[in-house]
Structure 1
Amino acid sequence: MDPLSVASGVAGLLCLAIQVGVTIAEFTSSVKGASQEAYKLEREIQAFSAVLKQLSEFLQSEDADPIVFEPTSVLLVATNACDKELNALQKKLEKYGKGDRVSRAIQRLSWPFTEKENRETIDAIHRWTQLYNEERMEVLGWLSSVAHNEKQNDTLRRRHGNTGMWFLELAEFQLWLKGDAGNILWCKGDPGVGKTVLAYVSSLAIDHITKTRKDAGVVFFYFDFSAEDEQTLEQVISSLLKQLLLQLEELPAPVKQLFDRSVMKGQIPQVSELQELLLSTAKRFDAVYLVIDALDECKAGDCRSELLSALQQFEISMKLLVTSRPHPEDLNESLGHALQVKLEAVESDISDFVYKKLENRKTKKILGKDEKLKEDIVTSIVDGAHGMFLLPTLQIQAILDQTTKGEIRRCLKTLPKKLDDNFSDILKRIGVQPPSERDMAHRVLMWIAHAKRPLKIAELLHGLAVRSGEHDFDEDDLPCEDLLVEYCLGLVRIDPASLVVRLVHFTLQEYFDKNSQSLFPKRNSEITQACLTYLCFDAFGDGPCLSDEEYESRLDTSPFLQYAAQHWGDHARETLEDDYQGLAIEFCGKGPNLESAVQAMGAGNHLYQGYSQRFPKSYTCLHVATSFGIKGVVEALLDQGVDIEAKYEDGETALCIAAERGDVEVVRLLLDRGAQVEAEGNVGKRALHQSAWHGHEQVSKLLLDKGADIEATDPQKFTALHMAASYGQLGVIKQLLDKGANMEVKNLWTQTALHRAAVCNHPEAVKILLDNGADAEAKDYDGSTTLLMTASLGLLGVVKLLLDKGVSVEATDKWAQTALHKAALGGHLETVKALLDKGANIKANNIYGETALHRVALGGRLEVVKLLLERGADIDAADNNGRTALLMAASNGHLEVVKLLLSKGAKGNPEGIALLMAAPGDRLDLATRLLDTEAIKTTDECGQMALLMAASSDNLDVIKLLLSKGADIEAKDADGKTALYRSASFGHFDATKLLLDKGADIEVRERSYAHTALYDAAVGGHFDVVRLLLNRGADTEAKETVAGWTVLHWATAKGDLDLVELLLDNGANIEARNGNGGTALEMAEWVSHSKIAELIKLKMENAVYIGEDPKGENELSNG
């Protein structure tokens, strides 16, 4: 069935879902005290309708044209099931909503479902929603968990009247918006302006562009001083990428590929990969607007410098609006060239704000009809604002606290004119409140100012309610939320969207930081004791929760648990041991409570099913104390005789944890107490690997002095030097080299430390290794040198460094590809220029006879094609199969490149080129007419390539036509892929079946990594095609050449339980080992895919040996 037909069914289902939603909404809005179940069902229907709308729009778009849906496809089966269930639901609801029955009986109307029926309905709809949205949200959730809209919505909600609207009319903003004044607008505001006016500017700009530029992508990031440790460069780029992807109807293939690759290797993607994806995704929009709010609140150091560097790249393809304070030097250096505007709070905004505040009921009664006093208040505050918005917000609070007109007049005369003076004045006013109110305000300010992350109001209330020495929580001790804000006299506020409680401004945080010792001398001691007391409560004595639902229920009733578990040690490190050590030892001795805390430490946010169980098992009290770096507690536990070599389920000892943290004192203590320096931790990494990875020089020195093996390798054959080079840890690299580390050791992928530093884009690390004699011509598993690898990735800085060091520009990999071939295929224009400037041979051929022009034509990179032609590339050079660049471009549908080559005089058969352009589209008539002429034959290059293109686009009619005319079914493209391989890798069931029926070779392998059609169909997630290939006898034992994985290894690493089961049911060898010697079971256990591991074990238990192969390896068969 074609997409438009399916779209029609989905659209009908959407209408039905909306109709059901309206009926339920009528019930919930009309019936007083409508049940919570009714509201839950209403929300579920709304969510389901939103997903259906998005799906319907996609199915009607051009992107869906190549897709064909089988009657048995998941989408059609689910749509039919949804339709049946929703119709039944609507009929039942209609009994209660027809004619006058509702109007007569609405007040006594009862919900027409039992609790069980309602729950089953909600569960079913929820499953459908997940089914339609699962893959998209899995990828997006994996990318970023930042709730990017919360701050935007909260800022817009708090804006008074027309505050900030003047910004949209500024000449600078309009010039930037229209693209007449460069791509960066830097809005600068002094302290006191920033967090109010600047946030309004950011939110207004975002809102304005979103509403007026429907064709543009809009992304943003709000920095916040109170969450600076959580705002890393990875999080910023991931959040921006996620926002951009949410504005697309489907995920681009490179995003899905990165997700699959990262899942497969169990790795977090590098920032450079995320940046590249962000830039490539941005090209899918007519324009992209990026707003960065409060950039100065991004933590100074690596994060901010790397972000500023990234913004320079983004400036090329995006329009950037940045707000910040003006004085940070690094910002001035990076943004000095930008269009700039100085922002101040305008008088009209301040005046509107003050007038609105004076409408306060109490103050309005005091002022009565005294308009003169009201004007005096507004004038005094506006005149003293000096372009700041914060100062009026503090001063008006002082006015509102007065009880007579005389007090207001006297207060006006003594209003502090500086921010710090205002803060001091407010604290003095807090100090004269009744003792209980004063003490509560003091504690609230202490907690907010010193919490390790922003606290939600429920967390704060529970933290404040903890009483020393208690074993249970008493709800009667919870403070009143509204009164907390009142007691603090305007210094705190609660975000309505996120429910996070915050200080009114970051300058107040700076004030507290300066005066913390005098204002809050016992801050960390009090918070530590509250956290530990909470964790010792009997409520957590049953140990960790066994399901997500149980865990969420626990957090609902004990919202402070997660903060207490994750940060008690952070506060403990900053206070005296005597203040908490006894309580810490008591907590460590309560096994079930400790396990409950470990679950809360590791569970994180709700991103996927089973998240609550993803915490380290067998995590001892020594692991916990070490992870926080609390030396006194570690020492006390060792004195009690705890096992210093204990490993939790991922295999880490306390020494590995301390080395990863860079905790010199704890590492020294553990070594002095006999910890084994060579003990292997997480996935085979030792303490030295961990310290090198994270750049901890002092810890690395301690470990080396204690005899750590400098050449020890992990299961991927990484040495400590590999680790340090991969992450650009310059100090550790120098240290290891001084200690004699071997630079030429190769990992599992035959990469040296120089390879790792180069591909991870660390130019300084590359320079250090080269200066110390590293072999720049060393080759990895596919024969690539560092230059070849970095040219392929377009890492211009490293490429230039290598070229300046004199590396061979003509070095080739095992396919005889030069750096120029690789850079051209990747479309890396500047890298291609750099290579040509250093004399790269533009006519060099790989083993297939292809030049760089062939490779770039294959990729369709127009600007690089232009450059190569300008530099003298042979436009008509043919590869070993007689294919020219023109044929390459045409056979891959790159129309603009075809036009350029033809305009430059490229020779070619015009009818053949036309056939190639017609094959992937719905142009059977044109293809037939072309083949009926004498000018083109199915046996020549154009005819063969046309078959490949038709297979790629699932064009069954053209495939049949070409085969009937004699096209070679085994013809291969430049990558060695046949029509069958292409159709399978794209998930085209009908085309794959047709080609198999016509005798296509099912075991054909592409030339780069020896993937089979089965392997690529599995990687693409094309379950039906995988099943088809297995039914036709596809070899499940075929291994790719990178890591020696079978398709079972890949499915296991990805965590695809259904695919693993399908492969096992079709005889996949459980004992097959990859290039590292690992089985699928070992891989499942390594990446914590417990259900897959259980399935494999079950299959092994039900298996019988049927013999041995010639190599002596056991074969298994289900018995």
Structure 2
Amino acid sequence: MRGVAIGIQADPAISSPVVGVLRVIIDIGLEFSKFFTRLTDMICEFEDYLGPLSEHSQAADIELVEHAVVSVYTNMLEFGWKARSVFIGSNGKRRRFTSFRAFKRQHWDTFETEFMSMKQQMQHHLHVLQHTVQATHFSHSRITAQSRSSLLSIARTERREFLSWVSDIDFEEVHQTTYTKKHRGTGDWLTREPKFQEWMQSPHSSLLWCNGKPGIGKSVLSSHVLEHITAEAGLRERTAICFAYYNYRDTRLASITTIIATLIKQLCQGMHDIPENLLEIMRNARSPSLLGSKEYFFSLMEKSSEVFVVFDALDECPEERREDVLGFITEAVTMPAPHCVKIFATSRREMDITEAFLKKNVPTIQISADSVAADIETFARSRVEELGSGQHGKTLYITSDDLKEEIIQTLAQKAEGIFLWVNLQLENLCQASKAQNDEVVKEALHTLPRDLPDTYIRILERIETQSPYMRDLAIRCLAWVLYAQRPLETQELQTALAINSKCKTQEDLRPISLKVILEACGNLLEEANRVTRPIHYIVQEFLTTAVHGPLQHKIRRQLLDSKSLHKNLSLDCLMYIDLMSFSKPASHEWELLEQIRDHDLAIYAYTSFDYHIWNSVEPSSDATNKLGRLLQKDSSCLAALLQITLLSNDSTRWGSTERFRRIDFRVTPATIIYSTRLYNIPTIKQRWVGQTPPIYALHLAASAGLVDAIIRLLEEGSEIDEKDGDQCTSMYYACQNGHLDIAQILVNKGADIHARGGYFDNALQVASYQGHTQIVQMLLDAGADVNLEGGLHSSAL
């Protein structure tokens, strides 16, 4: 505080409010002990600025000096006010929080960023003071101030743009959703484990693997570990934290480049200045997938003295892609000093993960039933209390305290460490308690299913006994959730379930309430991050894995009949497309977005109807008839259908449609067949494909990934380097959409890899932008010129 004292001597009249503010901040820091050290460090940093003020005041006009001193003190008052706002709400009351990480992210991290700006402003005021004392360059100082303010604004805007551009995956939201499932007092056994303590405190890079059976609470433990790391190390200088939650339904996470790009985004969020080499990639309008390189991640690590990384549910990464992430993890922790990377990973004991970690002698903590026994009882007690008071819209109606304690102890003793089992039994007991008779609840308690499979069978039996409407709704909903080409957002699912043969116009669609959907499905589903999905990975496994005996319930058999379900889903998609009735294609991308803005299921139905028809092997007569009527529409309607079909299935009605194409040629039924998987269905191909291929058939087949069609068209003499209305070749579309096998066939047949045309000018540039590294390597091996200039980014480089 010596620097503050010196500043006070410069002019006591204006300093006293600052003294009071600093005392308030120190008092607050004592209450929020984890922030005390950082707060006092911030206060001490003012010493660098206040000392020189005293010296200048001895040799300059006091009025001018006082103006500069007031500016500095204004910054200090602003610091005090904003620091107080971190911990004290607008109502004057102390902020409370359950998640340290959420509090830090929502309140403290913003303050940290603002503190850096305040420091820069104080530095600026010292510059102004120096010019004032010299009585020269005053106007220059003002211009400089405006220039610096403008530069700061530009830098902040570019920072926001970069963080939005580099990855759209929000693991922070996943973390908060997961952490809210944790109950107070649970999970602490893990952070007290000697192996965990050793890993946490080690000055060297290290990996800790935590494994356990399904449903034992690994993801919630991961969220607890992340909160613990953030609370213990998140405020340290040059310490960085990043994390990834794998989800088997999110196909984006299968790519290690996507995971690394998202980790890089998180590291950059913790930096005041984003490295220039990363910004250059965005400025040059290149693909963010280029940042998904471990070299970029390792270079960012060098800017921190310590990096913590949490990986949850490694087993939910597709087995064929797991080698990439396991290699990345083991390489990261074996890099030589000065790198210090500490990785915490959870998974089941899958063979490949076990072998990879055993080879490296990775320290392991196995989550056993005994490990979490106390947590299970705490969880059961907490949930019974919540349900007893009717929280979250569900109520456990019991009057006897003895029965309440019996429920808690019975669940704790029979759970065998499975939190999910406890939760599902409480759902069942809530149902039984609707009779508001303790004896009925006690009887249900004494006949609990012994494990998760038995529990699921009970739930399916309960679904079976519902009204015909609710039972059919459950089966349709589970079919969509289990067999959709990608996870449906809740709005998409609600619309899909509203489709029926009575719908004649869009106005007839009546989206079904999410509450009704979850109730119909026996609470086997949940909504998380705007997507309705199974409550756990093992629910999906149970419903889609064939078994024999009593576990083969009638509804389960229906859900295992994927061909029949795909027939139903294909018909739903075709009925929805029929309701849309777009009469002509859009002329511009914005016009197309406007067309589909209010149609929740449009992108999915148009880009996936062929996926469901193809997976049904032989389409139903209803689907065949509906498809026939669709293909018999005039060329303009078919052009509108084709235009949306060519979009990426990952697109949303709000998102980018970079695959937008103007359809300025005649579209026939055969055009649609060559653009979709329908080409691979013999009965459909025989009916709608004539002897003469439609215009641009090779381009459309290359875009759709139809290997057989490409081979046939080339054998029949299609011009391999023909250009369409956008001046693109079939090679361009194969490379844009990532179809390596087709690109290789075209190269082998002599396609011109340097053909010019399209938004990205050439095949190498579009493949590079889309992040299709194998295609890029194949093109380079074939002699592609990396310096070929043209297109959006000038060159592939």
TM-score (norm 2): 0.69
Match of 1:570 among 595, 611, 619: 611
CA shift, 1:177, in A, is: 0.5
CA shift, 1:504, in A, is: 1.0
Q: How does 1:289-688 map to 2 (within 5 A)?
A: 289-301=308-320, 303-315=321-333, 316=335, 317=339, 318-334=341-357, 336=359, 337-344=361-368, 346-359=372-385, 360-361=387-388, 366-371=397-402, 373-402=403-432, 403=435, 404-468=437-501, 470-474=503-507, 477-495=510-528, 498-515=529-546, 518-519=558-559, 521=561, 522-538=564-580, 540-541=582-583, 544=586, 551=593, 555=597, 557-575=598-616, 576-578=618-620, 580-584=623-627, 586-587=629-630, 589=633, 590-591=637-638, 593-594=640-641, 597-598=644-645, 601=648, 604=651, 611=656, 615-618=660-663, 626=674, 628-631=676-679, 632=681, 638-639=689-690, 643-645=694-696, 653-658=699-704, 661=705, 663-671=706-714, 675-679=718-722, 687=731
Match of 1:220 among 243, 246, 251: 243
CA separation of 1:718/1:566 partners in 2, compared to 1, >3 Å: closer, same or farther?
A: closer
CA shift, 1:697, in A, is: 5.4
Residue by residue, what CA displacement relative to the aligned partner does 1:1043-1097 show, whole Å, maximum 9, x if unpaired? Answer: 5xxxxxxxxxxxxxxxxxxxxxxxxxxxxxxxx5x6xxx6359899xxxxxxxxx
Unpaired runs of 5+ residues, structure 1, are 28-45, 81-127, 647-651, 737-741, 750-1042, 1044-1075, 1089-1119
> Contact 2:313–2:345 at 8 Å: present in 1 too?
yes
Match of residue 27 from structure 2: none
Match of residue 276 from structure 2: 253
Match of residue 785 from structure 2: 748
Match of 2:299 among 257, 277, 280: 280
> Contact 2:525–2:534 at 8 Å: present in 1 too?
yes
1:252 maps to amino acid: P
CA shift, 1:129, in A, is: 11
> Contact 1:472–1:539 at 8 Å: present in 2 too?
no
CA shift, 1:492, in A, is: 1.1
CA separation of 1:357/1:156 partners in 2, compared to 1, >3 Å: closer, same or farther?
A: same
CA shift, 1:11, in A, is: 6.4
1:653 maps to amino acid: H
Residue by residue, what CA displacement relative to the aligned partner does 1:514-560 show, whole Å, maximum 9, x if unpaired? Answer: 146633633222222222322333475575596869947954x4322
Q: How does 1:567-966 map to 2 (within 5 A)?
A: 567-575=608-616, 576-578=618-620, 580-584=623-627, 586-587=629-630, 589=633, 590-591=637-638, 593-594=640-641, 597-598=644-645, 601=648, 604=651, 611=656, 615-618=660-663, 626=674, 628-631=676-679, 632=681, 638-639=689-690, 643-645=694-696, 653-658=699-704, 661=705, 663-671=706-714, 675-679=718-722, 687=731, 690=734, 700=744, 708-709=749-750, 713-714=754-755, 727=773, 746-748=783-785
CA separation of 1:584/1:427 partners in 2, compared to 1, >3 Å: closer, same or farther?
A: same
CA separation of 1:451/1:639 partners in 2, compared to 1, >3 Å: closer, same or farther?
A: same
CA separation of 1:131/1:493 partners in 2, compared to 1, >3 Å: closer, same or farther?
A: same
1:560 maps to amino acid: L
2:162 maps to amino acid: V
Distance 2:415 2:717 in 1: 64
CA separation of 1:349/1:452 partners in 2, compared to 1, >3 Å: closer, same or farther?
A: farther
> Contact 1:192–1:390 at 8 Å: present in 2 too?
yes
CA separation of 1:639/1:1086 partners in 2, compared to 1, >3 Å: closer, same or farther?
A: farther
Residue by residue, what CA displacement relative to the aligned partner does 1:315-359 show, whole Å, maximum 9, x if unpaired? Answer: 133110000001332443245521110113512322233234434
CA shift, 1:601, in A, is: 4.0
**Structure 2 residue 59 is matched with structure 1 residue 59:** no
CA shift, 1:568, in A, is: 2.8
Residue by residue, what CA displacement relative to the aligned partner does 1:807-850 show, whole Å, maximum 9, x if unpaired? Answer: xxxxxxxxxxxxxxxxxxxxxxxxxxxxxxxxxxxxxxxxxxxx
Say what the alpha-carbon RMSD is for the aligned residues. 5.0
Relative contact order, higher structure (CA 8 A, sep 6+): 2
Distance 1:64 1:612 in 2: 47
Distance 1:613 1:9 in 2: 51
CA separation of 1:299/1:552 partners in 2, compared to 1, >3 Å: closer, same or farther?
A: farther
CA separation of 1:164/1:436 partners in 2, compared to 1, >3 Å: closer, same or farther?
A: same
User: Counterpart of 1:187 in 2: which secondary structure?
Assistant: strand
> Contact 1:10–1:79 at 8 Å: present in 2 too?
no
Residue by residue, what CA displacement relative to the aligned partner does 1:352-384 show, whole Å, maximum 9, x if unpaired? Answer: 33234434358977431251x333322322222
Distance 1:441 1:431 in 2: 9
Bigger Rg over Cα: 1
CA shift, 1:62, in A, is: 9.7
CA separation of 1:50/1:467 partners in 2, compared to 1, >3 Å: closer, same or farther?
A: farther
Match of residue 913 from structure 1: none
Match of residue 25 from structure 2: none
CA shift, 1:606, in A, is: 9.3
CA separation of 1:689/1:451 partners in 2, compared to 1, >3 Å: closer, same or farther?
A: closer
1:654 maps to amino acid: L
CA shift, 1:406, in A, is: 3.6
CA shift, 1:563, in A, is: 2.7
1:478 maps to amino acid: P
1:285 maps to amino acid: S
2:293 maps to amino acid: L
User: Counterpart of 2:349 in 1: which secondary structure?
Assistant: coil
> Contact 2:703–2:730 at 8 Å: present in 1 too?
no
**Which stretch of the first structure deviates more once superposed, 402-411 or 501-510?**
402-411
User: Counterpart of 2:418 in 1: which secondary structure?
Assistant: coil
> Contact 1:598–1:616 at 8 Å: present in 2 too?
no
Unpaired runs of 5+ residues, structure 2, are 1-48, 50-67, 92-106, 132-138, 547-555
CA separation of 1:488/1:508 partners in 2, compared to 1, >3 Å: closer, same or farther?
A: same
CA separation of 1:74/1:226 partners in 2, compared to 1, >3 Å: closer, same or farther?
A: farther
CA separation of 1:505/1:451 partners in 2, compared to 1, >3 Å: closer, same or farther?
A: same
CA shift, 1:459, in A, is: 1.6
CA shift, 1:51, in A, is: 11
> Contact 1:565–1:597 at 8 Å: present in 2 too?
yes
Match of residue 190 from structure 2: 167
Identity %: 20
1:502 maps to amino acid: R
2:405 maps to amino acid: E
Q: How does 1:993-1004 map to 2 (within 5 A)?
A: none
